[in-house]
């Protein structure tokens, strides 16, 4: 988990996507016009067409793009390895927490607008997401051999749901300091995986 989050220089295209995500999250895809997105980055609405064919193209690049970045980041962390499977799992969790805190609008846009994508783009997003889940499942099973494959997969989905709940937290200004929020989310994620593997402590009905 990185301690410093200094924004990297962004291209005009990246600026457009960032503002489109923010506006789509706040007001919905159909509630935002091209002119408003242009105004948010200081260019005319028609000027956006030098970068994107339209709002549909922006939405596709946002949702396909973040799915690609998560998968690439997960593969990178696994390739870099660590002293143990547990270290790899910690790295995966840290990376997803960064996403959950830094890209809250994208989480909202995904939840609300995925079905608006063209079928090919929607299938691409789902394919990338399945691959990302399977990366985690393999690592979780190495860390918790008592977990079956189906249990590990369910636990991964549950942890994603937990971490991706960040858009429902308080406004950013009233959140605890970032390091404290990161630490809390990580404890919750690790606790969820540990609970999934600990059958002995599960209440019996």
Task: Render pLDDT for 102-161 as a digit per residue (tens, 0 to 9).
Answer: 999 999 999 999 999 999 999 999 999 999 999 999 999 999 998 999 999 999 999 999
Q: Backbone phi, then psi, for 36, in 5-degree steps?
A: -70, -40
Residue with tokens 């979780």: 140
On the question of pLDDT at 203 being above 70, the answer is no
Q: Enter the pTM of the model.
A: 0.87
Q: Which of 35, 3, 60, 30 is nearest to 178 (CA)?
A: 3
pLDDT of residue 31: 94
- Give the separation between CA 73 and CA 112, rounded to whole angstroms: 24
Q: Please, what's the b/e burial string for 52-70 (b: 16 or more CB within 10 A of its CB; e: otherwise)? A: beebeebbbbbbbebbeeb
97, 162 in Cβ contact below 8 A?
no
Average pLDDT taken over every residue of the chain: 89
By percentage, how much of the chain surpasses pLDDT 90? 72
- Measured CA to CA, the distance from residue 44 to residue 186 in angstroms comes to 42
């Amino acid at each position: 988990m990185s301690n410093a989050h200094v924004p990297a220089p962004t291209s005009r295209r990246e600026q457009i996507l960032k503002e489109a995500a923010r506006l789509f999250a706040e007001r919905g895809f159909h509630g935002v016009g091209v002119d408003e997105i242009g105004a948010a980055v200081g260019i005319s609405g028609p000027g956006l067409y030098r970068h994107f064919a339209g709002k549909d193209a922006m939405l596709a690049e946002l949702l396909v793009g973040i799915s690609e970045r998560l998968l690439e980041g997960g593969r990178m962390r696994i390739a870099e390895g660590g002293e143990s499977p547990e270290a790899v799992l910690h790295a995966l969790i840290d990376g997803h927490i960064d996403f959950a805190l830094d890209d809250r609008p994208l989480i909202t846009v995904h939840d609300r607008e995925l079905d608006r994508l063209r079928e090919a783009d929607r299938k691409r997003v789902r394919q990338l997401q399945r691959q990302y889940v399977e990366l985690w499942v393999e690592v979780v099973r190495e860390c918790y051999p008592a977990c079956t494959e189906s249990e590990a997969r369910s636990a991964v989905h549950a942890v994603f749901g937990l971490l991706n709940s960040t858009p429902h937290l308080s406004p950013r200004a009233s959140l605890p300091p970032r390091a404290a929020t990161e630490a809390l989310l990580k404890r919750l994620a690790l606790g969820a995986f540990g609970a999934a593997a600990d059958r002995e402590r599960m209440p019996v009905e």
